[in-house]
């Protein structure tokens, strides 16, 4: 299983970026892809998640309205569109895959230990 993030970079406050998570190496009927971020000196936090079987999406409260998660199943890629970026969005962004049974509820996705595989991350820097 391999997850490869791309699309990070340097952007001015108020700008936009689209991150990509290319997925390879597994075929499951149902799985979830989550986006996390980790700023220097801070814990890794959940940003958003999408479930493959029904397209359910989840967002951290602070990202609602600014970030949009989507998937292109034909390309085995999950995207994170980020707009109205702020300096506090600066972090390394990771995608992660859960291929085991998806739990019920809308909170589980924010826990790092709920995921089975991780990418290497892509740096996003937002300048003021």
Residue identified by tokens 């799985």 is 31
Residue identified by tokens 């890629």 is 77
Can you give the pLDDT of all 128 residues of the chain as single tens digits?
A: 899 999 999 999 999 999 999 999 977 778 999 999 999 999 999 999 999 888 999 999 988 899 999 999 899 999 999 999 999 999 999 999 999 888 888 889 999 999 999 999 999 999 99
d(CA 123, CA 128): 16
Looking at residue 92, what is its pLDDT? 98
Looking at residue 30, what is its pLDDT? 86
- Assess contact for 108 and 114: CB atoms under 8 A: yes
């Amino acid at each position: 299983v391999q997850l490869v993030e791309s699309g990070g970079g340097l952007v001015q406050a108020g700008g936009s970026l689209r991150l990509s998570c290319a997925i390879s190496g597994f075929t499951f009927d149902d799985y979830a892809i989550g986006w996390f971020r980790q700023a220097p000196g801070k814990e890794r936090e959940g940003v958003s998640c999408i479930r493959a079987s029904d397209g359910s999406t989840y967002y951290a409260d602070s990202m609602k309205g600014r970030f949009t998660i989507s998937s292109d199943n034909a390309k085995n890629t999950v995207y994170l569109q980020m707009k109205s970026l702020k300096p506090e969005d600066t972090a390394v962004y990771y995608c992660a895959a859960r291929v085991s049974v998806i739990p019920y509820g809308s909170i589980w996705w924010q826990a790092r230990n709920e995921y089975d595989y991780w990418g290497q991350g892509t740096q996003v820097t937002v300048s003021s």
